[in-house]
Structure 1
């Protein structure tokens, strides 16, 4: 907040002689510290927040907040026990209204600090580029340089881009605690902060500061929380905002950058704009993922595609309109290609004022056709009325061809310079986004499919109780039924609501593909895949709903082996739990060995996708075992797919927090086992991580580039998988197997085998209060129970983050390492084993990334704060027993990370992040302490049957928002 309490000078004050020098440059010149501009921005935003607090809440509240801030900073930075006691006393004395004001103030400071940090990342990256520094890790330039040094040919790079598919998939998993209104205001603050890096006059600087003040005021007067639960439609609109902010413009621009970098590194292999395929595409689960979400149905999916389509048509129409204003070329001065003239002649524009301006007339025709197409596909309102009627486009490819026609004519008549500014990016956008914007995935749980199939078989008098059959009998029956041309479904029979709904959503998928194109929906993900029949059931459901076309061979065989079919949706298994991951390769081998299935895969280009779940495997087996079982599953799948000559595409179900597969995407992709990437990768982007990565266009562009660069390196860079290095890795893997077994036992013993642990978890974390937050359209638990097994992995991890333990990101590691070292016996053997662990950290990207992520989690863990949450557990014996085990294991984890890495402090290799965490903790501490106090009041009222105070509930939810913002990757 404010750094002064009296006579605070206006933040805009600056000597006139220096005002034209960018604020950031002045800060660096004054201190010699490259991070000085970040500190300057945080001070400015904190000062403005203090001004707003005083204006809105009065001097008394301002002074209370300032006193708490100063005491918390002193307590955190000086470890002063007296300051800690003083802080507790201050917080307990707050009135209910003061409490909410304090919570809001500290929450907004976390938000503003995030904005300043993101802006500083942009600033430092730009400084590197301006200085002509060597390419930074994670850039396309760095990746190509590394490949060039490794002897990878330009032809191989060119082929990579022709064959690749890289797809970030946005999901609506409920950890996004921000309202869109808040995000919009914060984006404007980010823009204004960036503006301060330009040379500004004193008047311009004053105006900028005034606008920042206004934005912070807007934040303060805007409701931070949602009062009503999010609907799926709300989640769709939230996701679309990131397309408008980032994806629609930054994705085409990134393609352009990649072409330029390839031309610079491999001049002979330069790719023309038309040659670069659409290898980077967006995906979405929002509106198609119905696993555990009763609010998703056929109507929701149709609505999702309609909104997707409306968003992309709004963009196309606006760009074509602007392009028409820009291309004022006259045939009195220059000729045009006949094809453009034909477009102009076909245009509904008959104005004599534009008779000599064929490009404008052609674009008016394109606009009219786009408007007609948009209306055909469900857009209710086109912003600018077209000049006249025109036929809609058959598909997006036809629109792209028209844009290419215009580009070709410009290039042929000395106007190639006019293609680059807008037309090239628009054409690239049309190739990337089509008329569908993003590929919508479908997902449902295998047990739902089984119930639907059971009913269809029973009502068709084919099999009375399909669910009771053995696995072998199920497979035989399903294959036979898929091969038969008749349907099980009858329009003259009534089915359960669940069966009707499931069939309706598959029929909707067929309709959507017809309307919006095949890329609109092309994947069907099966949660909890445990058997081959789980996959075959979805094949049969596709046949029942028109998504599979049967062809007959000439051999007269009516059995499954004689079937030839084309499947519209790729059936994708999701292996989530530890047992599922261990069985993944066996299930896929049996599935792909079926002749009918192998033919289906051949028809989909000898490509098959497999999804791996990071969240449930972690909740099931802990951090170390989850990562190791994922790694092993990938190796086994690579070996299987190589043997069967099928290309493997892995879909990584990563969450935001490290316990759910989070952490830096670049390092995570490079740490994948050899052969698992090969130009094919999809990965989920979830919760508040979407806002963190993509709410700022420049940050968003950088994150997309990181994804491409990592995939490029992981696919083409030598892995050292032969000879001595292969033996070395095999030795590392043997050690990991032993460590994983020990970590698994330690984790399971605490979470699943300790009596009362569930009670401890529900009392010592704000899980119940998180479930009340309106942060998603799906429930926090799969079933109405308090069992950890039934709890969704997302609120599980989110809760541990709120109480500052982040247990899913480290528990079990310390016990595993120390017990393995102790087992060695004598000191010499222990030293040898420790040397092996250090070699693993130095030489094996998988292990190095695992430790790096754990190091970050441990840096964010705070046992002192967590002990306050433990006090919420009424049973003192249970509280002390479990919390002591957690504290002891934390100590072991910290000790082992230090032993292996050699670092005495957390994040020694990332001082910027370490500084960031340390600085923001002083502002998080009051939020945590207040959250505990508010939870006590809330639960006490509920236990006593008193009416719940809405201000207390609101305070809890505000604190959840602020803590999540301060920790950043929490969900």
Structure 2
């Protein structure tokens, strides 16, 4: 295979030099290699098409280099001449090449992270070890204080099913294998033959990806989403947790400090997959039960494997008296039924150790019993999946299965202590320590499930009860009356829930969910999140309903404040709750509040939302402190900048001082799960960044904003919100323009999530979920939700002579600097010429002025951002103290440039497909154009969708629709890590 690749034989010095240069050389080399491999596959299957793809790529490169309209017109004209079936394959080709390019970025980042840890490349202060050194050396923090903080610190990462991962799991796995092979070319010393075999493996995976249907033909179920998230737990996260803790222990040892306590984990994991029922009718009480059982089953499988592995390792005869006594008790019990146990273990197909171990091998005696109980646990959980009426918590206790992590932890800790006592410290601090770390982190649930429901659904349930009992309509009561009623019932010992009460389907589903929660093991459950929470009664109602439905260990209730009004009113709501003696006693000094980035951004624009979130956090934490309550903030961030996304370290360090008190919860959504946990090296870096950032946020908090900064932000926030809403919600032609100029109406066909794109049918932007709102603007390369309103707000401050204040804020205030830098990054990826193409092809002439208006506002935003940051162009390189930061910007510029020739053809094809499909919808049968292919291969290509009947759906419609969906996925890949 003739594929030259300079990096195959490059010495490490060359690699390190390229790392220091920002990794751009490695990116270019790897991009060229994978493109060459892909073209070899494409030529093998479609030689004529490969020539056309080659021409298209060359035309796209020419336009990217020149920026000339004539070059763009040539590219558009060539793509317009493709046949429908060619459009599918060309879209697929460029989509695959973009995803392959993204792998090269992953490998480059991973290599750089590894080089940083080796000390071969200078690191930014975003690793825990660097933070420890910086805090002790430059900030005067004592090692003892840092150790104490780490012993109390915890980050809870909550994986959600929010549909922004456009790639199918089948493709993700193949791409992961390509990434692994590509990394081997850089990191391993391979022989000539091994290099050839590595390249052949890459080609095989590329070919497998090319022959895989890119489009999800069915919507995933919530259970499917949960299994997708769990795959990362099993393949990467479960194994990386002990490795990361081991590294932290080593860093602490360098400071003369002991290891982190064995029963403390720096991370916990949660999930919304199968628990988030807000606007998703597919998430039912049965689904919630299923995903909890599935998660426990995965945890039992994982522990079964590590325990069985330990049985081979711990062939130790010497033990502490305590362990000997424990093992003897087990052995005596087993000896009475040794024959049955032997046969049973054979039937279970254990790897080895069927015969009961003798007390001369005490570790194996204990581990064998643990393995047996884990096997039983798995069998019971499988039965629970088959029989939905089983009470999960009760049956686990009845059958002798594990129902609480302490049952596993205590014998494992006993073995660890025994090894320490007998001087076998190295053995204790090897695999046994790792298993204890895993147990501390994942317990028996792997990741605890949060339940989320909209506030009005609980109001409906309580209203049903009060109406049935003749107490009046709860829904019609004012807030004071509701709170008084709820608190009275919460302090009453009599049951409120009347037997035999008639319930509507919606009310019954809420009640059924509560009753399922009562039957699940409490350690499978996390928080109960109330979306659209507005009042104290929203929280109290959920506490009451849990109690009435038999939930013994009542889930902590976290109100979610999302819209601008909700964020503004949040302090008053929390004051009402925390000032009540009964409620403070109930929460035992700990309250959780969730703040929503996605809906607040859609409601008010990014700048106004960011400031409202900042202020709400400060006020909520201050109120909690007043009542001696620890406030844990749950950050509902999305993956894109428009939904609160951004680099982890920057996001955490930009929070108000004192709001991160060592505990942090944050959502990890969609494609971000793959980006942060898809590969071990990257997973390690993700843990490192979270730990480092939270440690610094507590031990070296950012400065509190000056009064001039606060007043300036108030002023800009108001103007930004007014400007944003004037366009998005008040301009009569905005929604019609949005519906025509973007593929928002067609996004549902992606089948990337189990929930609908809208909370309710009809309506405008207010009914649309935040994800399709962002996704649609990303496709047209305008990224409007990120910057709309910001330019006018900044320019107004500049016109008022406040530029010196803005520059001071940018230089000294992490919150403001982070906001501006993220917007700058998104502006660098915005492309007005692409949006003009959508407008030219899709928008009626009477609405085209809206596009001109929006693009003029984009230019205002660009100019204002550059004025504040002091640059002459976006992502401009700098010198002096800014050189490192600007080097990162230059690296981003290279990434944008390398992606551009892949993305532009996809945008053009998307416009062509949208125009064709919309014309067909308007004109009916006549738009088919007589396109009736007879080639079996083409017909096979056009009939992959089982949901489209080939006798009723014309081939051109099938072709254009498939091509459209592929372009949407491709552009999403091209805009990865952006707004």
Question: TM-score with structure 1 length normalisation?
Answer: 0.90
Taking structure 1 as reference, are residues 28 and 249 closer, same or farther at Cα in structure 2, changes over 3 Å only?
closer
Task: State the match for 1:473 in structure 2.
Answer: 481
- Please report how far the alpha carbon of residue 423 of structure 1 lies from its aligned counterpart in structure 2 after TM superposition: 2.1
Deviation readout 1:770-792 (Å, 9 max, x if unpaired): 12221100000001013111111
Distance 1:849 1:13 in 2: 38
* Contact in 2 for aligned 1:22/1:199 (Cα 8 Å): no
1:162 aligns with 2:151: yes
SS at match of 1:805: coil
Closer, same or farther: CA 918–374 of 1 in aligned 2, 3 Å: same
Question: Structure 1 residue 539: deviation in Å?
Answer: 2.0
From the superposition, tell whether residues 390 and 324 of structure 1 become closer, same or farther in structure 2 (CA, over 3 Å): farther
Provide the rounded CA distance (Å) in 2 between the counterparts of 1:969 and 1:296. Answer: 29
How far off is 1:165 after superposition? 3.0
- Answering whether residue 481 of structure 2 is matched by residue 512 of structure 1, we say no
Could you tell me whether the CA contact under 8 Å between 2:841 and 2:912 is conserved in 1?
no
Structure-to-structure mapping, 1:436-515, within 5 angstroms: 436-463=445-472, 465-513=473-521
> 1:897-919, CA deviations, whole angstroms, 9 ceiling, x for partnerless residues?
11111122222322111110121
Shift of residue 29, structure 1, vs aligned partner = 7.7
Q: Distance in 1 between matches of 2:640 and 2:239?
A: 28
Aligned equivalent of 1:183: 172
User: Match of 2:755?
Assistant: 778
Q: Report deviation, 1:573.
A: 0.8
Q: Does 1:525 find its partner at 2:519?
A: no
For 1:218, the equivalent position in structure 2 comes to: 208
The answer as to 2:908 corresponding to 1:899 is: no
Structure 2 residue 288 is matched with structure 1 residue 309 = no
After TM superposition, list the pairs within 5 Å mapping 1:630-779 onto structure 2. 630-721=613-704, 729-779=706-756
State which of 90, 96, 109 in structure 1 corresponds to 2:84: 96
Give the Cα–Cα distance (whole angstroms) in 2 for the partners of residues 598 and 503 of structure 1. Answer: 26
Segment of structure 1 superposing worse, 667-676 or 906-915: 906-915
CA distance, structure 1, for counterparts of residue 242 and residue 804 of structure 2? 48
| TM-fit CA distance, 1:763 | 0.9
TM alignment of 1:776-925, pairs within 5 A: 776-822=753-799, 824=800, 830=801, 833-880=802-849, 882-908=850-876, 909=886, 910-925=889-904
After superposition, the Cα gap between the structure-2 partners of 1:135 and 1:616, relative to the gap in structure 1 and judged at 3 Å, is same
Cα offsets for 1:735-768 (capped at 9, x unmatched)? 1111111111111111011012111111111111
Structure 2: distance between partners of 1:493 and 1:742: 51
Q: Does the 8 Å contact 2:543/2:554 carry over to 1?
A: no
Kept in 2: contact 1:938–1:953 (CA 8 A): yes
Query: 1:873 Cα shift?
Result: 4.4
- Indicate conservation of the 8 Å contact 2:653/2:814, yes or no: yes
Q: Aligned residue for 1:426?
A: 435
C-alpha spacing 1:336/1:433, structure 2 compared with 1 (3 Å): closer
Counterpart CA distance in 2 for 1:535 and 1:417 is 50
Q: How does 1:539-688 map to 2 (within 5 A)?
A: 539-547=543-551, 568-601=554-587, 603=588, 606-688=589-671
Alpha-carbon distance between aligned partners in 2 of 1:634 and 1:707, rounded to the nearest angstrom: 19
Corresponding residue for residue 380 of structure 2: 376
Within the candidate set 250, 253, 258, 1:270 is matched to 258
The TM-score, its normalising length taken from structure 2, stands at 0.89
Q: Indicate how the Cα distance of structure 1 residues 28 and 582 shifts in structure 2: closer, same or farther if over 3 A, else same.
A: closer
Larger deviation: 394-403 or 191-200?
394-403
SS in structure 2 of the partner of residue 328 of structure 1: coil
Matches within 5 A, 1:383-402: 391-402=400-411
TM-superposed deviation, 1:944: 1.5
Q: Map of 1:51-130 to 2, 5 A cutoff?
A: 51-57=40-46, 59-130=47-118
SS at match of 1:649: strand
Task: Judge conservation of contact 2:635–2:667 (CA < 8 Å) in 1.
Answer: yes
Residue 404 and residue 344 in structure 1: after superposition, are their counterparts in 2 closer, same or farther (change >3 A)? farther
* CA displacement 1:622-681 (0-9 Å, x = unmatched): 011000111111111122122121111111110011011001121011011111001121
Cα distance in structure 2, aligned partners of 1:511 and 1:30: 57
Alignment check: 8 A CA contact 1:12 1:205 kept: no
Aligned residues of 1:906 and 1:914 also touching (Cα < 8 A): no
Alpha-carbon spacing, 1:676–1:512, altered in 2? closer, same or farther (3 Å): same
Alpha carbons 1:935, 1:956 under 8 Å: kept: yes
How much has 1:942 moved relative to structure 2?
1.1
In structure 2, how many angstroms separate the alpha carbons of the residues matched to 1:720 and 1:193? 43
Aligned twin of 2:367: 363
Q: CA deviation at 1:337?
A: 4.8
SS of residue in 2 equivalent to 1:440: strand
Residue aligning to 2:2 = 10
More displaced 10-residue stretch of structure 1: 856-865 or 532-541: 532-541
Distance 1:250 1:488, change over 3 A: same
CA distance in 2, matches of 1:873, 1:178: 26
Distance 1:821 1:391, change over 3 A: closer
Taking the aligned partners of 2:576 and 2:962, their CA distance within structure 1 comes to 53
Superposition deviation, residue 273 in structure 1: 4.5
Asked if residue 930 in structure 1 is aligned to residue 909 in structure 2, the reply is yes
Q: What is the CA-CA distance between 1:872 and the residue it aligns to? A: 4.4
Distance apart, 1:23 and its partner CA: 7.4
1:130 Cα deviation after fit: 2.6
> Post-superposition shift, 1:170?
0.7
Stretches of structure 2 that go unaligned for 5 or more consecutive residues are 343-353, 387-397, 877-885, 926-952
The 1:93/1:27 distance shift into structure 2, 3 A limit, reads farther
Q: Does 1:407 align with 2:416?
A: yes
- Pick closer, same or farther for the CA change 1:297–1:834 going to 2, 3 Å: same
Cα distance in structure 1, aligned partners of 2:458 and 2:118: 56
| Distance apart, 1:469 and its partner CA | 1.5
| Greater displacement, 937-946 / 231-240 | 937-946
1:405 is displaced (CA, Å) by: 2.1
Is the Cα contact below 8 Å between 1:312 and 1:433 reproduced in 2? yes
- Cα distance in 2 for partners of 1:751, 1:932 equals 23
Preserved contact between residue 442 and residue 524 of structure 1 (Cα < 8 Å): yes
Question: SS where residue 267 of structure 2 aligns?
Answer: coil
Structure 1 residues 25-84: Cα deviation after superposition (integer angstroms, max 9, x where no partner): 666789996542332221111111001111122x21001000000110110122133321
Using a 3 Å threshold, how does the CA distance of structure 1 residues 120 and 487 change in structure 2: closer, same or farther?
A: same
Query: Greater shift after overlay, 420-429 or 803-812?
Result: 420-429
More divergent stretch after superposition (811-820 vs 647-656): 811-820
Q: Once the 2 structures are TM-superposed, how far is the Cα of residue 248 of structure 1 from its aligned partner?
A: 0.5
Q: Distance in 1 between matches of 2:501 and 2:622?
A: 47
Mapped contact 1:841–1:847 kept (Cα < 8 A): yes
Q: Counterparts of 1:885 and 1:943 in 2: how far apart (Å)?
A: 28
Name the counterpart of 1:5: none
Q: How many residues in Structure 1 have an aligned counterpart in Structure 2?
A: 907
Residue 169 of structure 1 aligns to a residue whose secondary structure is strand
Q: Which digits, 9 at most, give the CA deviation of each residue in 1:832-873, with x for residues without a partner?
A: x21111111000000000011101110111110111112344
CA distance in 1: counterparts of 2:333 and 2:841, whole angstroms: 74
Shift of 1:102: 0.8
